[in-house]
Structure 1
């Protein structure tokens, strides 16, 4: 019977890992895919490799946090309870992936474990409060840092970086000799190659950070219950994440890379940098990082900052009948590096419209679902553990 329950637990854990791959590949590599830097297949491969590295090195610490510190008594993670927690994590993430919305795996997993802790009166409120506080603060920081960059520094950064994407392949492989050699594409500049490398490298850092914080979401209950050893659990979770990255993640890559905004390469670098710095910072202090939300708010913040160059600060906050725009439409306004007028003196007609580059309905759907999905796991887990007699709490 125990072996059967453990087998069910492993299947559910893999289902969670599969949905983690679908939910986290978009925030990590969506900007690079949206900018046309890499393909979805390459993004999935890079996600798989760097997620494993992060999980194997630092991720085991977060497993201990969720499996032992978030609740006072880890003994509540019976095999039955662990399966139920993982089921609600996987179900909630699956709902987000079906809608093409990259839901926060950390918020969803912590929510399910919190539901168990609430039902058993074993929830460590001090740890929970610290985690939630950073979840509220980090997206605000991401939005405003990106907004300030978009409003005051984006034009200058774009002129200095001058990452104009050229037609044709970025690199070519010469197989005429005994040893194949790699060279720049026929139209590729060195600056374009450097910029492309930077945005992909930042995505790899985010994938690494995802491994450090999100592997726990798939295996922490089973490891905490003692039913699964740490190292085999990490390998199983990473295999499942890779499957999700190559399959269902294509929907979330479209959402963050194309549907919210068509990111120019310079904008992709900024969004990825801001998000990666915040995620790594949170991981260093032991907080399960919700980089899905951080990446989304950074994209919106950067576009808001660019769009409000057509207004003064007072008008951009209050809104006016003549200048009502607060959108991501201006992200490509200086993609060619032209000289811009001073802030507040630009002609709104010179800036692409919201409908060209910014989809408000998609953004609203993303933000709503990113809050609804964790609630599904939290409330569902609490109701089951409180009212289903089989658990006997």
Structure 2
């Protein structure tokens, strides 16, 4: 019979995974559900499969880092494992209850770091590598998307003209327990089918990256301490993520749950591809990181880059031009063909000064919380584990 504390640890791990599934499903499949390409149940099913795939493959590297590289694995007794998972669970609970954008990965690392400081076992080299990645990755996300926004976005928008079908691609059954398509919407075009396929494919990619990065947040302490095998830990986390995807994710999918869905479809796809790729690369390196942080910086970078097309680089350097920085510039009217796109410095600033897609004050609050949440977790963890007997 398993120890009662181990049962508690597994239940807390399931709670963490459950909340990860609830929040990440909206990020990955909000655009697909919002454009009526897949149902909420379909999104949950895809999330379950691809998050498990990400955890089963790339996610093992992150489990290794969090379960034995930040502090030695022998530090993860049952009591400390439950304590670390408790802090992650509280951060998720606050995030879901009050809409505070807490980073699960950062909170988990902060909790483990607090344990390491309290016991004098923190591996500074590993911690420094993680923190460096937290600083560098958002900067890379911003500038990659800024370059795309300034030099490529209007041409891509004119060339591909990605639009979701207003009434969806399919007609759906009415009533019954499970909705299913009954036919094809006659108004949907081939281009819209291609756009919708891209939305679903990239949603699956984001689900994969979310599973790769977040599986460790649920089970790394228990796996690192040897209380769960790696395979069992990944399956437990994957099952918990699936449970969250099929239940509480419905609420986030109702409001689509993230700023991506306020963007034009092409912009959302660019943001998703860049942010998911960054997180996947970091996960391959064994570094836990926040998908929400990368995605938000991609949104800001893409909008800023698009808005700066009103000013040539040499004019900006000489102080003769001033570029608006409205992210709403992404909603500016597109050119009919790539050849019709005005050159840099030729666009009217008023055409790009559309309403902002989010409040800059809110973005500032989010950035502060990205720093504050893991710091508070580390401090609280230090206090707790300093009081526990060695």
Q: Does TM, normalized by the shorter one, top 0.5?
A: yes
Equivalences for 1:1-393 in 2 at 5 Å?
A: 3-32=3-32, 38=38, 40-71=40-71, 73-171=72-170, 184-249=184-249, 259=259, 262-313=262-313, 325-335=324-334, 337=336, 339-355=340-356, 357-386=357-386, 388=387, 391-393=388-390
Deviation at 1:9, TM superposition (A): 1.0
Mapped partners of 2:247, 2:172: distance in 1: 28
**Preserved contact between residue 282 and residue 288 of structure 1 (Cα < 8 Å):** yes
Mapped partners of 2:309, 2:94: distance in 1: 38
Deviation at 1:164, TM superposition (A): 2.8
**Preserved contact between residue 30 and residue 257 of structure 1 (Cα < 8 Å):** yes
Deviation at 1:41, TM superposition (A): 4.7
Mapped partners of 1:258, 1:58: distance in 2: 25
Deviation at 1:195, TM superposition (A): 2.1
Bigger CA drift: 83-92 or 278-287? 278-287
Mapped partners of 1:385, 1:319: distance in 2: 54
**Preserved contact between residue 145 and residue 271 of structure 2 (Cα < 8 Å):** yes
**Preserved contact between residue 21 and residue 241 of structure 2 (Cα < 8 Å):** yes
**Preserved contact between residue 47 and residue 204 of structure 1 (Cα < 8 Å):** yes
Mapped partners of 2:271, 2:319: distance in 1: 25
**Preserved contact between residue 100 and residue 251 of structure 1 (Cα < 8 Å):** no
Mapped partners of 1:336, 1:254: distance in 2: 32
Change (3 A) 1:324 1:156: closer
Deviation at 1:247, TM superposition (A): 4.4
TM-score, structure 1 as length reference: 0.86
Change (3 A) 1:224 1:205: same
Mapped partners of 1:279, 1:54: distance in 2: 11
Change (3 A) 1:210 1:316: farther
**Preserved contact between residue 97 and residue 252 of structure 1 (Cα < 8 Å):** no
Deviation at 1:353, TM superposition (A): 2.2
- The size of the alignment, in residue pairs, is 382
Deviation at 1:181, TM superposition (A): 9.7
Cα deviations by residue, 1:300-326 (Å, 9 ceiling, x for unpaired): 111111222233447768999x95631
Deviation at 1:40, TM superposition (A): 4.8
Deviation at 1:219, TM superposition (A): 0.8
Mapped partners of 1:365, 1:37: distance in 2: 33
Mapped partners of 2:222, 2:147: distance in 1: 43
Cα deviations by residue, 1:199-227 (Å, 9 ceiling, x for unpaired): 32122112112222211111111122222
Cα deviations by residue, 1:141-191 (Å, 9 ceiling, x for unpaired): 1111101111111011111212133332313589xxxxx998753122222
TM-score, structure 2 as length reference: 0.86
Deviation at 1:345, TM superposition (A): 2.8
SS of residue in 1 equivalent to 2:57: helix
Deviation at 1:34, TM superposition (A): 5.9
Deviation at 1:197, TM superposition (A): 1.4
Change (3 A) 1:226 1:119: same
SS of residue in 1 equivalent to 2:45: helix
Gaps of 5+ in 1: 175-179
SS of residue in 2 equivalent to 1:5: helix
Mapped partners of 1:10, 1:103: distance in 2: 22
Change (3 A) 1:348 1:36: farther
**Preserved contact between residue 327 and residue 358 of structure 1 (Cα < 8 Å):** no
Structure 2 match to 1:177: none
Cα deviations by residue, 1:19-64 (Å, 9 ceiling, x for unpaired): 2223433443345456665555543332222111222233233322
Cα deviations by residue, 1:39-94 (Å, 9 ceiling, x for unpaired): 555433322221112222332333222212221x3221111111101001111222
Change (3 A) 1:257 1:97: closer
